[in-house]
Amino acid sequence: MYILEQIQNSFANFIKTKFNLPHDIQLPINLELNIDRPRAQFGDLNSNVAMLLAKQLKQSPQAIAQLIIAEYQAPNEIEKIEFVAPGFINITLNKTVFVKLIHEIEQLKTGFFKPSHLKAQQYSIEFVSVNPTGPMHLGHGRGAIIGDVLGNVLKFNGHQVTKEFYINDAGNQINKLGLSLKIRCQQILGINIELPEAAYHGEYLRELAQSCIADYGPTVIEKPDSFFAYYGKEKLLDAIKHTLRDYGVEFDVWFSEKTLHDSQAITQVLAQLKLNNYTYEKDQATWFKSTDFGDDKDRVVCKSDGELTYVAADIAYLKNKVDRGAEHLIMVLGQDHHSYATRLQGLKQALGLTDLPLDIIIYQLVSMQASGEAVRMSKRAGNIVTLCGVIETVGKDVARFFYLNRKADSQLEFNLDLALSKTEDNPVYYIQYALVRIRSILRKAQTLTPVINFDLSNAEYISEPEYLVLKKILQLKNILAAIEHTQHTHLLAHYSLELAKLFHAYYGQHKVLDPEQPEISGARLLVLEQLENTLELTLKLMSLDTPESM
């Protein structure tokens, strides 16, 4: 348990004992770090517990805060406790706390940021899962980065994580792909035939048709429709995999929907639902009682002609994940899947998996702006801004960060001009430049005469400017815990940018390399080393590069 956790526990235990609160109370008795400069002048930690208790105790926040300050037997590490209206308790720590923090961070390395107490779980995170009927478009990049970074953080925290892509390779959309591809091949070979309105019209199908003819010759059009469906699916799935690799996303499992249809998995799970009275027959079709679980209508699982629907496969797939050991399910879905999310929760309950956590992250639309104007996109017309094109244009790192840098439930406008900028206005270059600059300073210290060496003994020479940096470093531990519990992955992007800004401000105000004050310089280099390691960790968790030079 690190030093601030000890202080936190001491404070929380006093509050619970003093006011006779149950130990399992949900009241957040937290000591928050004062990290920004305006708040830091009031102390290092603050608590609003007096305001939270006011209604329950029927006393003013000021009276409660003053009682706490008067009777709390503060640990030696606390220098001062004060009341600030309307009901905040501010705590100033003494220097020993920050010296101990440096020692703890240096000794534990990245382990310092892991949860102190963890009940490890097996997470299954499904994300992207686009139909292999076309290239990944602009919006798919958002779901990919949310799922990927969330998986990285959960794995770092100590959980077992399976990142999973569900391949929708069964059903009408694959048949439609095959028909569309065959017609494109026929057109290229001079046959006068038009694509149906409902077919896929994207330019990518012309390129795919040319590849198909090159592979099999002009007699390819004599092959059955099933051949074109399979050929198109495999080629487009390979392209999706290639795009995701370029994007820095690797999946542990690529799960084929077709395998559920080819096995008895769907039949068995539908039999289970029927046995539990969650299905019924109507109009010669089989229906799942989805409205029993809050859906707006019941859903067909087997059509009158015997064809199984997506819902039927979804039920079997959900059970399959659990059978493979998943203890906590997470799905990342686009904004047009709200009703699907409700349906999934119902399916989970119908299968008797009421205790299984199922978190569904819905992300909003993505638009692109270039030269001050919106970039228009129409899938039907074939005008698709592809994710592959975005990555090729701005690079992996910039694409990932720009997609990550907004809360999932907020619409995201991808500013292409800013993404292409090589200046400090571009947050990715700003963060990476901070890392490069820190590393340059650390190297330069070894080239001076005399060389400025440093080790943990220099921690005794830190002062208030370094306290702020150390508190910001410490905040990463809370950020990673928050991401695990809220799935708000944008917090990591925001934190990395704030950390870079704090470094640039600190370096602009304080001379780090001063041969005439080797002890102070050593202390500042020691803090910069911790800052370097923390920035590097955040970049790695976002799967961004950690350059040595720029």
Q: How confident is the model at residue 397 (pLDDT cuts 50, 70, 90)?
A: very high
Lowest mean pLDDT among 84-88, 180-184, 474-478: 84-88
Smallest CA-to-CA distance from 363 within 405, 333, 337 is with 333
Query: Each residue of 51-62: pLDDT tens digit?
Result: 988 888 888 999
- What CATH homologous superfamily does 427-541 map to? Isoleucyl-tRNA Synthetase; Domain 1 (1.10.730.10)
Q: What percent of the chain has pLDDT over 70?
A: 97
395-416: burial string, b at 16+ Cβ within 10 Å, e else: ebbbbbbbbbbbebeeebebeb
Q: Kindly state the DSSP code that residue 194 receives in the 8-state scheme.
A: P
Length of the chain: 550
Q: Which CATH number fits domain 127-257+364-420: 3.40.50.620, 3.40.1360.10, 3.40.190.10, 3.40.50.720?
A: 3.40.50.620
Q: Is the pLDDT of residue 456 over 50?
A: yes
Please give the Cα distance from 16 to 473 (Å, whole number): 29
What pLDDT was estimated at residue 274?
94
- Mean confidence (pLDDT) of the chain: 92
Q: Is 315 left (phi over 0), alpha (psi -120 to 50) or beta?
A: alpha
Task: Report the pLDDT value the prediction gives residue 84, as an integer from 0 to 100.
Answer: 87
Distance, in Å, from the CA atom of 26 to the CA atom of 3, rounded to the nearest integer, reads 23
pLDDT at 23: 64
Percentage above 90 pLDDT, the chain: 77
Q: What is the pLDDT of residue 35?
A: 87
Per-residue pLDDT at 385: 83
How distant, in Å, are the alpha carbons of 42, 81, 84, 519 from that of 91?
8, 5, 11, 28
- CATH fold for domain 3-93: Gyrase A; domain 2 (3.30.1360)
Amino acid letter, residue 151: G
Q: How far apart are CA 206 and CA 439, in angstroms?
A: 49
Rounded-to-integer distance, Cα 21 and Cα 29, Å: 11
List all residues 6 or more positions away from 126 whose beta carbon is below 8 Å from its beta carbon: 147, 164, 165, 166, 321, 329, 330, 331, 332
* Angstrom distance (rounded) from CA 402 to CA 392: 14
pLDDT of residue 27: 67
Mean pLDDT, to the nearest integer, of 122-142?
A: 95
Please state, in angstroms and rounded to a whole number, the distance separating the CA atoms of residues 199 and 195. Answer: 6
Structure tokens at 166: 């569900």
Cα–Cα dist 507/459, whole Å: 18
The four Cα atoms 211, 217, 222, 225 give a dihedral, to 10 degrees, of -20
Q: Average pLDDT in the 331-343 region?
A: 87
Whole-number Cα distances in Å, 126 to 40, 332, 469, 481: 41, 6, 37, 21
Higher pLDDT, residue 1 or 461? 461
Instruction: List pLDDT tens digits, range 201-259.
Output: 888 999 999 999 999 999 999 999 999 999 999 999 999 999 999 999 999 999 999 99
Q: What per-residue confidence (pLDDT) applies to 378?
A: 47
Helix, strand, or coil (residue 326): coil
Is the Cα torsion angle 452, 458, 464, 467 positive or negative in sign? positive
Looking at the chain, which residues constitute the CATH 3.30.1360.70 domain(s)? 3-93
pTM (whole model) above 0.85: yes
- For 227, phi then psi, to 5°, come to -65, -45
Mean pLDDT of 340-366: 92
**Cβ atoms < 10 Å from Cβ of 323:** 9
Integer-rounded Cα radius of gyration of the chain:
29
Confidence bin at 42 (pLDDT 50/70/90): confident
pLDDT value of position 408: 95
Residues of the chain with CATH 3.40.50.620: 127-257+364-420
Burial 143-158 (b: 16+ CB within 10 A, else e): bbbbbbbbbbbbbbbe
Q: Which residues contact 33 (CB under 8 A, 6 or more apart)?
A: 44, 45, 471, 474, 475, 478
Quote the CA–CA distance of 212 and 383 in Å, as a whole number: 22
Average pLDDT over residues 48-74: 90
Domain ranges in the chain with CATH number 1.10.730.10? 427-541
Specify whether the CB–CB gap between 60 and 23 falls below 8 A. no
Q: What is the pLDDT of residue 497?
A: 98
Which residues neighbour 29 within 8 Å (Cβ) at sequence distance 6 or greater? 11, 12, 15, 16, 47, 49
3-state secondary structure of 93: strand
- Output the CA angle 199-200-205, nearest 5 degrees: 130
pLDDT at 37 over 90: no
297 Cβ contact partners less than 8 Å away, ≥ 6 residues apart: 290, 291
Q: Are 78 and 36 in contact (CB under 8 A)?
A: no
pLDDT band at 382 (very low <50, low <70, confident <90, very high): very low
Give pLDDT, residue 1: 58
Task: Return the pLDDT at 171.
Answer: 84
Q: At 416, which amino acid appears?
A: L
What are the pLDDT digits (tens) for 356-379?
A: 999 999 999 899 888 888 776 544
